[in-house]
Amino acid sequence: MLNDLRMICLSLAATGRASATRRMLSLLPTVKRKRGGDLARNPQLRHRAAKGIMNRNSFFRKQFVLQFTTVLILFGPHVVSAQVGPAARLAPNISIFATATDAKPNFRYLYDRAVYGFSAGGFWQTRRLLGVEVRGSILKWGSDQHEESALAGPRAAKRFGRFTPYVCGLVGGGNAWSRNLPDKQPPFIIEAVGLQWSILGGVDVRLAHHFRVRVGELAYSKIYLSGRTLSALNASAGLVYRID
């Protein structure tokens, strides 16, 4: 009843009836006193009033829970995706590889023979182009000019659908056999260890999440030995396995 009187007062005030509004406002204290007396004399009315307050509180709590649940359903997936999605998308690619490798030990020298063997290594590649690679190779079949190396350095790769071209700049050490052809002496082989750097590039083709085929790779290297420098040219192909 008090709520009804308040609504009537607001309606009269909105329509500009000042005198009627004052009369209705003067009735509010009387109605409040009467309501208080009724509650004091009648325990059932007090119980109903308290029950009505509890029902209203329960209703408001239910409304709040419903609205909060609705907000979570509507905006929760977007918040989770905004917080977790970028981290997942930026997860690095950790892979290992093994390739068959054929090399011309010193392509500036016409009389050496190609030597073949294998290379193996791994790389850590971010989703933002750059990464790090380590690799080693043993080339000792097909020629007496063997070559072994251990290299590491930065790499860059970019995925285009199933194809991922990459380039690397590596540095490390190389152990090489080189042919010596001095005048008036039979040729012989000299073995030495020296600094080596290599620039290489290739293409990987994705077969499944964990498997890729390295369809081709070309590498140009310099190996600095005592008294001479070898310029090696390598070609490789093999498999790549993604660990993560």
Q: Are residues 194 and 229 in the same domain?
A: yes
Tokens coding 3 = 């709520």
Q: How many CA atoms lie within 13 A of 110 on its CB side?
A: 0
Q: Are residues 80 and 111 in the same domain?
A: no
The domain of 112 spans 93-242
Long-range contacts: 234-237, Cβ < 8 Å, 24+? Answer: 234/101, 234/102, 234/103, 234/137, 234/200, 235/101, 235/102, 235/103, 236/99, 236/100, 236/101, 236/102, 236/119, 236/202, 237/99, 237/100
From 88, 113, 145, the end of a domain falls on 88
Q: Are residues 35 and 81 in the same domain?
A: yes
Q: Are residues 121 and 226 in the same domain?
A: yes
Mean pLDDT by 10 residues, the chain (244 residues): 49 52 58 60 56 53 60 52 48 91 78 85 91 95 87 95 96 84 62 92 95 96 87 94 91
Q: DSSP state, 160?
A: B
Q: Are residues 178 and 58 in the same domain?
A: no
Q: Are residues 142 and 225 in the same domain?
A: yes
Q: Are residues 201 and 166 in the same domain?
A: yes
- Burial (CB count within 10 angstroms: exposed 0-12, middle 13-18, buried 19+), residue 159: middle
Domain of 167: which CATH number? Answer: 2.40.160.20
Q: Are residues 112 and 58 in the same domain?
A: no
Tokens coding 162 = 């199933």
Number of domains in the chain: 2
Whole-number pLDDT of residue 227: 77
Residues 6+ apart with CB under 8 A from 42: none
Q: Are residues 98 and 199 in the same domain?
A: yes
Q: Are residues 79 and 188 in the same domain?
A: no
The angle that helices 18-41 and 43-89 make with each other, rounded to 10 degrees, is 110
Whole-number pLDDT of residue 205: 97
Whole-number pLDDT of residue 18: 54
- Give one word for 90, left, alpha or beta, with left for phi > 0 and alpha for psi -120 to 50: alpha
Q: DSSP state, 7?
A: H
Query: Which of helix, strand or coil describes residue 184?
Result: coil
Phi, psi dihedral angles at 103 (to 5 degrees): -140, 150
Q: Is 213 within 8 Å of 171 (Cβ atoms)?
A: no
Q: Are residues 69 and 13 in the same domain?
A: yes
Q: Are residues 235 and 117 in the same domain?
A: yes
From 36, 56, 88, the end of a domain falls on 88
From 57, 88, 119, the end of a domain falls on 88
Predicted model pTM: 0.61
